[in-house]
Amino acid sequence: QVQLVQSGAEVKKPGSSVKVSCKTSGGTFSSYTLSWVRQAPGQGLEWVGRIIPILDIPNYAQNFQGRVTITADKSTSTAYMVLSSLRYEDTAVYYCARALEIGSSWFMDYWGQGTLVTVSS
């Protein structure tokens, strides 16, 4: 059974950075693609970016280009997301999720429990 366990809640000041981790178990980490999705209070789901650990290649949503870095540590089966230059509107729950490819499409079948990031002065 695949499990994704995320790090705990964070409170950060505007302009600072936050690092969220996502430790996976079950399955083969190198064969995963891991995505990050966020959800602001009362809002819908927004894709942040993803990484293919076996290739170490990330790609990011346009809204986050230049502010987000996603990495993967194959030795610990853990993915990380760093979001920098934090703004009040970055306050949200951040989820990691395993992404699978089917045909020419991708979807997310296993999700972490979410990490609340609060940006507050």
Q: Which is nearer to other proteins, 69 or 93 (CB)?
A: 93
Q: Provide the binding-site residues for other proteins, judged by CB under 8 A.
A: 35, 37, 44-47, 50, 59, 61-62, 95, 97, 99, 102-109, 111-114
In what side-by-side order are the strands of the sheet with 18-25? 3-6, 18-25, 78-83, 68-73
Q: Which is nearer to other proteins, 15 or 57 (CB)?
A: 57
Are residues 17 and 5 in contact, defined by beta-carbon separation less than 8 angstroms? no
Closest CB 73 distance from other proteins, rounded Å: 22
Q: Which is nearer to other proteins, 88 or 106 (CB)?
A: 106
Closest CB 59 distance from other proteins, rounded Å: 6
3-class secondary structure, 21: strand
Q: Which is nearer to other proteins, 41 or 75 (CB)?
A: 41
**Cα–Cα distance measured from residue 110 to residue 112, given in angstroms and rounded to the nearest whole number:** 7
Write the CB contacts of 19 (distance below 8 Å, at least 6 apart in sequence).
Answer: 80, 81, 82
Closest CB 51 distance from other proteins, rounded Å: 12
